[in-house]
Structure 1
Amino acid sequence: MMVVTALLSWFLVGLFIRVSKARGWGQPIRKDGPAHQQKEGTPTAGGVPFVLAMAAVFFPLYFTGHAGGPRELLIMVAALGMGLIGGVDDLLKIRSRMVGGKKELLAREKFPLQIIVALAFAYFAAPLASHELVPGLGPVGDVILLTLVLVGSVNAFNFTDGLDGLLGGVAIIVLLPLLALSPVSALLVAALLGFLWFNAHPARVFMGDMGSHAIGAIAAGAYVLYADVWLLPIAAIIPVVAVLSVVIQVASFRLRGKRVFKMSPIQHHFEHKDIGWPETHVTVRFWMVSAVATALVWWLLGGRP
């Protein structure tokens, strides 16, 4: 089914690109950022077709008993819930470029929606987790912890987007240890392979928030339910650093009036003209860091009694 998912994703993303270009659904580029002006007008929201491809394969498999049990359904529903929030953001961005109006969901609008989805996931996931989350924390503490983990993961993976192929490659690497355990993780990896055909440098489509939100939800859900929640920030070291760089940058500017990084998230810091890494170098080096971190996680998982 991974082959089918990859091919369906490849077809739907390619179709989405053609429709997007015909309708002018292009991505505006930050003028104060790295020299990406040549990407102006590239179709965005490419996560929509690969998430649809993954769901289109998963649900027939699940309802015929070939895609795991309740854990897999829970992961997929969380991914679609978070993906829908990101999809609204994508729709607003496209609509504002075409006819004006609201440009995106504000943080104060987005976070409550993310927390609602995360709370629902956490309530059902806590009893199904493959390990004790925190000894003595209790059921309520477990639900609070998993809610924070899911919201944090979604936003961390979202901040990792922004360079051609970066988030797709990082997500594939992070999920590799779970391919044999979680069918949803395997389907996402396959869907991302179809997407990366078009998102690799020079990208013909950008992922957008629906894709990044769904990826963050699946990564968190799979590590919680099949591995260990504390291994997620190790494997996902790049998303963790990306979101921390934003937090540090904002806090430093508000408290000190100074920026720590040339730009944030951190991938744009390395791209900045004063640092000068080419976009492809940043992407591949971040993949390499992810590979080393995920290899450590793989070893830790294999070393368990």
Structure 2
Amino acid sequence: MTQILIAGAISLAVSILLTPVLIRVFSQQGFGQEIREEGPESHKAKRGTPSMGGVAILVAMWAGYLGSYVYSAIRGDGGPTASGLLVLGLATALGIVGFLDDFIKVHKQRNLGLNKTAKSVGQFVAAIIFGVLLLGFRNGADLTPASDHLSYVRDIDAVSLTSVGFVIFCWIVVAGWSNAVNFTDGLDGLAAGSAAMVMGSYVLITTWQYRNACDPKPSAGCYQVRDPHDLAIVAMVAAAACLGFLWWNAAPAKIFMGDTGSLALGGLVAGLSITTKTELLMIVIGALFFVEFISVVMQIAVFRTSGKRLFRMAPIHHHFELGGWKETTVIIRFWLLTAISCALGLGLFYGEFVSQAG
């Protein structure tokens, strides 16, 4: 547990100290955010706010993760694992895709960066490589970082995807969650605060999986997860990095995470759900991201079939803004909804354990 706390402390410190440096540098370089013309009128005042703040989140996560293993090496303990490195690698790869998108936006002074095809190809390549690697790296207990089964709180034995099906499933999950977090990042601090709560929930989940692992002492309700302790470190550094960034990103935001941060955080959500075997549970814990994604899908589907808009504007947080809610009201209420969904998800997770252990 000490290593997890050290990882979080390093990540928080790096994030909260690096972000203002990026604010100054990006402001001097003119790396300001462009705003959608059809968006809420109040958002136009944000034009020019530095973007690409997700760089601080990524650097903080890696600093916390690697720093914790310096402490581990001093103590003579083990090093990083395949599971942790693969999840962080996925987040970094998607962060690079997002960085390219953000850089094109600020360089060309427009609200559109990479086209949809280029962004989708980047997500596809990252997801496919991630999915293939997840089925390798067997440990002494013959566990890989993921299995080819669909999971809720543990594998659902009746639903086998096969190796090829699993890799395709990974692509769908990674693309879905990375876009979902990306859609959520439209209000000051909304994505960062919500992601911090989701990642915090996964610190508890992975720590519990580590305490009740089947290896080396199988017991009723134990978990067949390859590297739960390392995944707890990943979740902790992500939560801490989001909190440190939120200090500067909370309304009125002095910097935006941009696609650099939102795609990376979406990758973490996807990666943790797959490696902890909680893919369906993540829909509950990450319910806000899921609803934001579904609102965009529904808006497009209804508009293309009927020519009418289901919401005033999608993603759904803009619907409430255009309905008269203040931005801070939307943010706080959506944070509350995230807290409720996280609590519900943790309750379902623990309830399943009790039923298995009993």
Amino acid at match of 1:41: G
Is 1:129 paired with 2:146?
Answer: yes
Measured after TM superposition, the shift of residue 68 of structure 1 is 4.6
Moved more, 52-61 or 254-263: 52-61
Task: Answer whether contact 1:47 1:212 (CA < 8 A) is retained.
Answer: yes
Amino acid at match of 1:289: L
State the distance in 2 between where 1:109 and 1:149 align: 18
Instruction: Specify whether residues 8 and 293 from structure 1 end up closer, same or farther in structure 2 by C-alpha distance, changes over 3 A only.
Output: same
Amino acid at match of 1:145: F
Deviations 1:175-222 (A, max 9, x none): 222215221110011111110010001111111001001101111111
Is 1:146 paired with 2:170?
Answer: yes
* Residue from 5, 12, 16 that aligns with 1:10: 16
* Residue from 37, 46, 57 that aligns with 1:31: 37
Instruction: Specify whether residues 179 and 258 from structure 1 end up closer, same or farther in structure 2 by C-alpha distance, changes over 3 A only.
Output: same
Amino acid at match of 1:120: I
Q: Secondary structure at the match of 2:280?
A: helix
Map of 1:195 onto structure 2:
245
Is 1:78 paired with 2:109?
Answer: no
Is 1:265 paired with 2:315?
Answer: yes
**TM-score between the two structures when normalised by the length of structure 1:** 0.92
Instruction: Specify whether residues 61 and 176 from structure 1 end up closer, same or farther in structure 2 by C-alpha distance, changes over 3 A only.
Output: closer
* Residue from 152, 155, 158 that aligns with 2:182: 158
Is 1:47 paired with 2:54?
Answer: yes
State the distance in 1 between where 2:293 and 2:171 align: 17
Task: Answer whether contact 2:189 2:246 (CA < 8 A) is retained.
Answer: yes
State the distance in 2 between where 1:82 and 1:24 align: 24
Measured after TM superposition, the shift of residue 67 of structure 1 is 6.3
* Residue from 65, 70, 74 that aligns with 1:58: 65
State the distance in 2 between where 1:43 and 1:245 align: 27
Moved more, 74-83 or 2-11: 2-11
Measured after TM superposition, the shift of residue 18 of structure 1 is 0.8
State the distance in 1 between where 2:124 and 2:27 align: 34
Is 1:288 paired with 2:336?
Answer: yes
State the distance in 2 between where 1:27 and 1:67 align: 39
Q: Percent of aligned positions with the same letter in both sequences? A: 38
Amino acid at match of 1:183: I
Gaps of 5+ in 1: none
State the distance in 1 between where 2:43 and 2:260 align: 22
Task: Answer whether contact 1:78 1:121 (CA < 8 A) is retained.
Answer: yes
Q: Secondary structure at the match of 2:160?
A: coil
Which structure 2 residues correspond to residues 226-265 of structure 1 after superposition, within 5 A? 226-265=276-315
Map of 1:210 onto structure 2:
260
Task: Answer whether contact 2:9 2:64 (CA < 8 A) is retained.
Answer: no
Instruction: Specify whether residues 128 and 55 from structure 1 end up closer, same or farther in structure 2 by C-alpha distance, changes over 3 A only.
Output: same
Map of 1:87 onto structure 2:
99
Q: Secondary structure at the match of 1:36?
A: helix
Task: Answer whether contact 2:34 2:48 (CA < 8 A) is retained.
Answer: yes
* Residue from 298, 301, 304 that aligns with 2:346: 298
Measured after TM superposition, the shift of residue 164 of structure 1 is 0.6
Task: Answer whether contact 2:35 2:47 (CA < 8 A) is retained.
Answer: yes
Amino acid at match of 1:299: G
State the distance in 1 between where 2:326 and 2:117 align: 35
State the distance in 1 between where 2:57 and 2:199 align: 16
Measured after TM superposition, the shift of residue 62 of structure 1 is 4.7
Amino acid at match of 1:176: G
**TM-score between the two structures when normalised by the length of structure 2:** 0.79
Measured after TM superposition, the shift of residue 271 of structure 1 is 0.2
Structure 1's consecutive aligned runs of 4 or more residues displaced over 6 angstroms after TM superposition are none
Q: When the two structures are aligned, how many residues end up with a matched partner? A: 300
State the distance in 2 between where 1:67 and 1:83 align: 24
Amino acid at match of 1:283: I
Moved more, 58-67 or 277-286: 58-67
Instruction: Specify whether residues 67 and 29 from structure 1 end up closer, same or farther in structure 2 by C-alpha distance, changes over 3 A only.
Output: farther
Task: Answer whether contact 1:58 1:67 (CA < 8 A) is retained.
Answer: no
Task: Answer whether contact 1:76 1:218 (CA < 8 A) is retained.
Answer: yes
State the distance in 2 between where 1:30 and 1:258 align: 20
Gaps of 5+ in 2: 1-6, 136-143, 148-153, 207-231
Task: Answer whether contact 2:10 2:60 (CA < 8 A) is retained.
Answer: no
